[in-house]
Structure 1
Amino acid sequence: MTGARGPIAAGSADFRRINRAMAFGGFSVFALLYCVQPLMPLLARDFSLTPAQSSLALSVSTATLAVALLASGFLAERIGRKQIMIASMVGGALLTLLSSFAVDYYQLVGARALLGLVLGGLPAVAMAYLSDEIEGSSLGLSMGMYISGSAFGGMSGRVLSSVISDYTSWRIAVGLLGVAGLYAAWEFSRSLPPSRHAGVQRLPAPGFFDGLRTHLRDEGLPWLFVLPFLLMGVFVSLYNYIGYRLLAPPFKLSQSAVGAVSLLYLLGIVSSMWAGKLADRLGRRNVLWLVLGVMLAGLLVTLHDSVLAVVLGTGLATFGFFASHSVASSWVGRRARPPQALASGIYLFSYYVGSSVIGWGTGYVWEHWGWNGVIGVLAALLGVAIRIALRLRRLAPVS
């Protein structure tokens, strides 16, 4: 490791290299993780499943990912951040290829569970890497750009798997995304500079439980750890079951058209960077509750029975989600003390547990009460998130 130079500022060559690498990293993880989401109706048809059962193909991955995030964030402080992130991307790509050959649903769910464990090596470590390497005044922008890459990956995985499966099969679609994941891992490896500032102080690293106690005793971090549970649970539920709604009467759209709804993730690419810069300028406390309100408004618009309203509402919710995630995740990065990677791991643990628990549970809401029931539950959860954001406004600023 080179000497401890100053933090990396926006506009520098290293800043561009880091953001290029993180764009590929975010693309790979989220394309591989979410490529099965629009395929759930096809999986339900091929394997004779209910909507809640078919959602396990995604929920099991996000559940194991949540567990892996805690361990990866802690181990990265000792093994090396770049090495763990590369191994995560390569392993995830290979398991995606393997899952395309599953002969039954049990094998598919098993491969997807392993996928989540392996992919856990990137998201928390990436957030900690950015928090340590990037200058504070540029962190919101950099975190927003990483989340933009994640949004692009989630969008690409969903759209490509939908379109390819319409003309071939879901197996070919998933396999091709595994190949794309291997290429992304190569680009990440050659672009990302080694971490220069992790552990620069050379103080003994806190143990896992000591670090956990440190973060949970903070005035604001526990609330920031609850937010992603609600945010991601609401967001993944929206995209889990919007496909079922649009495939059924009165819409009766094709699989490709349903997959094209994920193009709305482009709004997330814009909103995450916009919100990151706005939070750097105005303060996270003044931005977070507003973008959560945009997300709630979008959910309510989807209640109208027209394609235009559903698309508009989903777009607003997507814009609000990525903006909220960008602000909240960078707030954790600014507020956490060592071990920072563990704080990022806890944040993302909550994020993916929310995806698994709420995303699976709303399948039963859909089966019994339809779309109105789903939106009612999700709106109530977002109301809790807005209340938390308003509470966080009272926190003392951090340097």
Structure 2
Amino acid sequence: MIQQGTKTFRNISLALFAGGFVTFALLYSLQPLMPEISNAFSITPAHASLTLSVTTIAMALTMLFIGSMSDSVGRRFIMTAALVISSVIALLSAFSPGYTELLLLRILQGVALAGLPAIAMTYLSEEIEPRSLGYAMGLYISGNSIGGMAGRFISGVVTDWFSWRAAVGFIGILGLCAAVIFWLVIPPSRHFVKAAPGFKNPIPLLWSQCRNPRLLCLYGLGFLLMGGFVTLFNYIGFELTGEPYHLSQSIVGSLFVVYLMGTVSSTWM
């Protein structure tokens, strides 16, 4: 098992940090751009918010099953493929001719993005010794928060200078760069045991968890807290870029520096 302080541990930490960064940068990069998307396609704010909602839903549903796929295909391959495919889809999204095409691409991106967060914790628990595991997971989660913040902030700044399409394309390029870093430094799985392909195991496991009242309370807390949090930032851009504030996309994107608190606290916890 890999111990904290070794070169292999640093490589794993860097790879998972980069992976978490690009996953949440790609997922949330459109959030501060919703006013621009609404104007570009002449749609309502509610329709513009679907560009994030459909991606999140697709990602959440795919995460329920992609873990079983990794049991037979391998953790490293699926995580790397997820980062590359989702980054390429981001580049394609920058050229979306219409709103419907953008939504379809975002759904596909959600499916692809599920490949890393569904497997990362399992990969870490298989490869890292128990005493170092908490710190490694904290670093991975901090990459998530920094990626979510950076994706929103960078997309806002690039939109001010160029356009929302340029911002989405730029985040896609960043994603490909992070995917290359991930592929180069992530160590191969040494304690992975390949299983027979199939999706039978997740169904009874999911059903058993849905019958556990304590777990349902945890799921409900996550749903309510993240639901309120994401919804607030979905629509606050419409208010701040309009009357009476007229703030720029860069300023609206900078609101997400609050994510830095999550970066520090997740590693500390």
> TM-score by structure 2 length?
0.91
The residue that corresponds to 1:84 in the other structure is 78
Task: Give the Cα separation in 2 of the matches to 1:136 and 1:241.
Answer: 42
The residue that corresponds to 1:72 in the other structure is 66
The residue that corresponds to 1:176 in the other structure is 170
Larger Rg: 1
Task: Give the Cα separation in 1 of the matches to 2:6 and 2:209.
Answer: 32
Matches for 1:329-368 after TM superposition, within 5 Å = none
Query: Is the counterpart of residue 272 in structure 1 residue 266 in structure 2?
Result: yes
The residue that corresponds to 1:193 in the other structure is 187
3-state SS in 1 of match to 2:43: coil
Deviations 1:192-241 (A, max 9, x none): 11222333999xx9722233345446674443333322232122112212
Pick closer, same or farther for the CA change 1:224–1:130 going to 2, 3 Å: farther
The residue that corresponds to 2:128 in the other structure is 134
- The CA RMSD over aligned residues, in Å, is 2.3
Query: Is the counterpart of residue 258 in structure 1 residue 252 in structure 2?
Result: yes
Deviations 1:118-170 (A, max 9, x none): 11111110121122322333332222111111111111111111111111111
Task: Give the Cα separation in 2 of the matches to 1:64 and 1:245.
Answer: 28
Give the structure, 1 or 2, with the largest relative contact order (CA under 8 Å, sep 6 or more). 2
Deviations 1:311-343 (A, max 9, x none): xxxxxxxxxxxxxxxxxxxxxxxxxxxxxxxxx
The residue identity in structure 2 corresponding to 1:153 is G
The residue that corresponds to 1:51 in the other structure is 45
Aligned pair partner of 2:91 in 97, 104, 113: 97
Task: Give the Cα separation in 2 of the matches to 1:9 and 1:231.
Answer: 34
Q: Report the Cα offset of residue 82 of structure 1.
A: 0.6
The residue that corresponds to 1:238 in the other structure is 232
The residue identity in structure 1 corresponding to 2:228 is V
Aligned pair partner of 2:109 in 101, 112, 115: 115
Task: Give the Cα separation in 2 of the matches to 1:118 and 1:57.
Answer: 15
Deviations 1:58-112 (A, max 9, x none): 1111111111111211111111011000110110011000010011111111111
3-state SS in 2 of match to 1:55: helix
The residue that corresponds to 1:167 in the other structure is 161
Task: Give the Cα separation in 1 of the matches to 2:22 and 2:130.
Answer: 26
Deviations 1:270-324 (A, max 9, x none): 121122xxxxxxxxxxxxxxxxxxxxxxxxxxxxxxxxxxxxxxxxxxxxxxxxx
The residue that corresponds to 1:346 in the other structure is none
C-alpha contact (below 8 Å) 2:90/2:168 kept by paired residues = yes
List gaps (5 residues or longer) in structure 1.
Answer: 1-6, 276-399
Q: Report the Cα offset of residue 245 of structure 1.
A: 2.8
Pick closer, same or farther for the CA change 1:8–1:218 going to 2, 3 Å: farther
Deviations 1:231-277 (A, max 9, x none): 321221122122223223443321111111122222221121122xx
C-alpha contact (below 8 Å) 2:158/2:164 kept by paired residues = yes
Task: Give the Cα separation in 2 of the matches to 1:234 and 1:139.
Answer: 30
Q: How many residues are matched?
A: 268
Task: Give the Cα separation in 2 of the matches to 1:66 and 1:200.
Answer: 24
Q: Report the Cα offset of residue 8 of structure 1.
A: 2.6
Pick closer, same or farther for the CA change 1:234–1:196 going to 2, 3 Å: farther
Query: Is the counterpart of residue 11 in structure 1 residue 8 in structure 2?
Result: no
Matches for 1:197-208 after TM superposition, within 5 Å = 197-199=191-193, 207-208=201-202
Matches for 1:25-36 after TM superposition, within 5 Å = 25-36=19-30
Task: Give the Cα separation in 1 of the matches to 2:204 and 2:72.
Answer: 16
The residue identity in structure 2 corresponding to 1:120 is A
The residue that corresponds to 1:224 in the other structure is 218
Task: Give the Cα separation in 1 of the matches to 2:50 and 2:233.
Answer: 14
